[in-house]
Structure 1
């Protein structure tokens, strides 16, 4: 059964359009139907068949969908065209402009009861809110997008699920973020739902939470899976623009189905473009591993590549994470001034309400740089500020390490009692449960 209005609503619509065109019931009915049938239909006493509605739509000079649903002709295609425009705007980093486009689309989709368009618009609003650091609003948008897709297969719901997980992660709720991502990966892989885009999105997104929780082995594995799944595209933005232009031409010629096909390809390419941005996490992971192995030159190259993939206006919280790692490598390579400048930029972009973990990491490293420069007052100030941020986020492992750094500094400056207090606090965090208790790793994809 088609998704169309009730017989009474359709009957009134037929009567209105017929009168508007100056047709009699007989003229509308001929040659396939009788005037009595049209009269009964207009009164809402019969549910017209699809065949009858197509005949009447042709006689009235309107599209079948417009007659059956009341939606303007080509509405769905027009909305899809505007959705790809909003995706393009977001992909170029203009989050606030994109949010306005998505909001307008959401109003129209709700007015015409188009749940698929509602879900995409809500997803876009969530992505815009993440880019601008409005994490609570982002979470609500993603939840509403999931609800709009409640009856859809799991791969279709993955972008909204992933968005919700990322909003929890960026708010410092690491354990719940990992739970959401791992449970979704497990359900996809164990259920044989091996959608490459869905898996890539999840694996790329789980790297950051794994790293912040100290699960480096799982982070490295996720990065390798993501890179193996990554779709190949020379220039997705360029090809997507081509498909959008083609769609406009086809629409002007009335070739709706072909225009739809071009718009679907454009939307897929914009998603690919966003996934390529997500893959910055994979370069970051490789840089981290290289740094751990002492390969600092290679680490610097990978981390700079990750930063280059994150545009200046997009995803400040992601780029801050990479910037802190790059600053650490630069400091270890003797480029402390450049490292400090990068860290100050990170702190200027973030606040204690958003990106607490990254702000804490920046303060911790600035403390180490200050210590190396024998500026103990500045070092202590940075350590204390980092401590406050980590306590708020509940990152126990990082707290223990920071307490050790602070204790060592206090001991070297002759404040033994204060140093002992810092060490005791650190031991307390070290012996308490960490930010998460990881269960079995999720099932792996067939690569």
Structure 2
């Protein structure tokens, strides 16, 4: 119990004692001395849990209220609200989750509940990130690392650093992302004592190296992560390291070398992983297979279709399902199944943009543009690409944005809009700093 909370407990004891019309001596007798009660009320002594429980009984109030300033009923209501907010986030109800977390943070009863308040702030940051409001998420996460650092568990500190590193990466501030990741891991000072949480943070840092084009550093770090994961031996660490190492190696042009790694990650995760993450990994494998071995497009399609079924059967959110629909559509295009691809792309287009985000919706419009172009429907093609352009203009300059801009440029040029094609090429170059 810190100095501030210690003083607040003393003030609550004094206030309730006076409400009950008791003197310090009456409250103390016979178990305690009146001078001890006086020291507690002035914040100069920290009562033990046993003494707090005794005082709560004597004052006829709940221990919860004495310690936290809330009644047991208010505490239960706050915990229930937090649980519902987390459920909304887990189920992909992103706007609803953000609203619920925000309401919790405005509740005055949460002020003295450090742990619950940290949970609510962290949840709000994740919801803001999922809604695409990266600056707001970064602001809250940064405050969590500084203002609320005292009393945080190591697990929570790693979770906050992981989310902050990821948000900076998505915002395009790769220098800040690397600074958070490297600083939290202690790189350059000492080597981490790896655990599952630090492995996931290291894997996110690895993706930052890939994004900024530092592929040599990425390859070296991927090797380090794989070695550490093998020594740690936990499924969570192995999956994180294998999955991200596979992505790294593929980005360096060695898809055939990457496939065995992601296949091993899938095998491990299939035994004990959660259904949603397993489905995401399976879809990632399907897309890597498609890029590396285009002739295996039908198999890649089967993998993505299975992933789509698994996501729908799990508690996956709309964003995850919509992204998987784009994967299925791409594998169907590569398999020559244009009507099926159109069906899945149109289903993806029906998703609520507020729940899906601009990155995924831009990809949906891009795929529809490609499909319309394949059907020689140039006007519809250009209309979809214009919508993709509007969404991309609201996003940070990242490698992924550059790839999407380049794809828009190529398709618009084929469809006959040289102006949009030139603009898209320019935006692609700007995203990579050229």
Question: Which category of TM-score, normalised to the shorter sequence, fits these structures?
Answer: 0.5 to 0.7
Number of aligned residue pairs: give it: 382
1:8-407 mapped onto 2 (5 Å cutoff): 13-18=12-17, 20-21=19-20, 25-35=24-34, 37=35, 40-41=38-39, 44=42, 47-50=44-47, 53-54=51-52, 56-57=55-56, 59-60=58-59, 66-67=65-66, 70-72=69-71, 79-80=78-79, 83-95=82-94, 98-99=97-98, 101-108=100-107, 111-130=110-129, 138-151=137-150, 152=152, 155-164=155-164, 173=171, 175-176=172-173, 180=177, 183-184=180-181, 187-188=184-185, 190=187, 191-197=191-197, 199-200=199-200, 203=203, 217-218=247-248, 277-292=276-291, 293-294=293-294, 295-311=296-312, 315-349=317-351, 355-383=357-385, 385-386=387-388, 389-390=391-392, 393=395, 394=397, 395-407=401-413
Deviates more, 1:115-124 or 1:9-18: 9-18
What RMSD, in angstroms, separates the aligned Cα atoms of the two structures? 4.9
User: Are the aligned partners of 2:111 and 2:117 in contact in 1 as well (CA < 8 Å)?
Assistant: no
Question: Taking structure 1 as reference, are residues 63 and 372 closer, same or farther at Cα in structure 2, changes over 3 Å only?
Answer: closer
Taking the aligned partners of 2:199 and 2:282, their CA distance within structure 1 comes to 18
Query: Could you report, residue by residue, the CA deviation over 1:344-391 in whole angstroms, capped at 9, with x for unpaired residues?
Result: 333343659984443443333333323332334433444455456556
Query: What is the CA-CA distance between 1:2 and the residue it aligns to?
Result: 4.9
User: Are the aligned partners of 2:301 and 2:331 in contact in 1 as well (CA < 8 Å)?
Assistant: yes
Question: Taking structure 1 as reference, are residues 143 and 347 closer, same or farther at Cα in structure 2, changes over 3 Å only?
Answer: farther
Query: What is the CA-CA distance between 1:286 and the residue it aligns to?
Result: 0.4
User: Are the aligned partners of 1:122 and 1:144 in contact in 2 as well (CA < 8 Å)?
Assistant: no
User: Are the aligned partners of 1:155 and 1:195 in contact in 2 as well (CA < 8 Å)?
Assistant: no
Deviates more, 1:370-379 or 1:214-223: 214-223
Query: What is the CA-CA distance between 1:189 and the residue it aligns to?
Result: 7.7
Query: Could you report, residue by residue, the CA deviation over 1:276-300 in whole angstroms, capped at 9, with x for unpaired residues?
Result: 5355442222011111212222211
* Larger of the two Rg values belongs to structure: 1
Could you tell me which residue of structure 2 aligns to residue 435 of structure 1?
Answer: 432
Question: Taking structure 1 as reference, are residues 325 and 5 closer, same or farther at Cα in structure 2, changes over 3 Å only?
Answer: closer
Higher relative contact order (CA 8 A, sep 6+): 1
Tell me the SS of whatever aligns to 1:364: helix
Query: Could you report, residue by residue, the CA deviation over 1:227-275 in whole angstroms, capped at 9, with x for unpaired residues?
Result: 69869758xxxxxxxxxxxxxxxxxxxxxxxxxxxxxxxxxxxxxx6xx
Query: What is the CA-CA distance between 1:202 and the residue it aligns to?
Result: 7.1
User: Are the aligned partners of 2:322 and 2:356 in contact in 1 as well (CA < 8 Å)?
Assistant: no
Query: Could you report, residue by residue, the CA deviation over 1:372-424 in whole angstroms, capped at 9, with x for unpaired residues?
Result: 323344334444554565566453344344433433444xxxxxxx76x7887
User: Are the aligned partners of 2:128 and 2:134 in contact in 1 as well (CA < 8 Å)?
Assistant: yes
Unpaired runs of at least 5, structure 1: 235-272, 411-417, 438-447
Taking the aligned partners of 2:309 and 2:51, their CA distance within structure 1 comes to 55
User: Are the aligned partners of 1:65 and 1:71 in contact in 2 as well (CA < 8 Å)?
Assistant: yes
Query: What is the CA-CA distance between 1:144 and the residue it aligns to?
Result: 4.6
Taking the aligned partners of 1:183 and 1:189, their CA distance within structure 2 comes to 10
Deviates more, 1:115-124 or 1:306-315: 306-315
Question: Taking structure 1 as reference, are residues 69 and 388 closer, same or farther at Cα in structure 2, changes over 3 Å only?
Answer: closer
Query: What is the CA-CA distance between 1:117 and the residue it aligns to?
Result: 1.4
TM-score (norm 1): 0.64
Tell me the SS of whatever aligns to 1:349: coil
Query: What is the CA-CA distance between 1:121 and the residue it aligns to?
Result: 0.9
Query: Could you report, residue by residue, the CA deviation over 1:333-352 in whole angstroms, capped at 9, with x for unpaired residues?
Result: 23212212322333343659
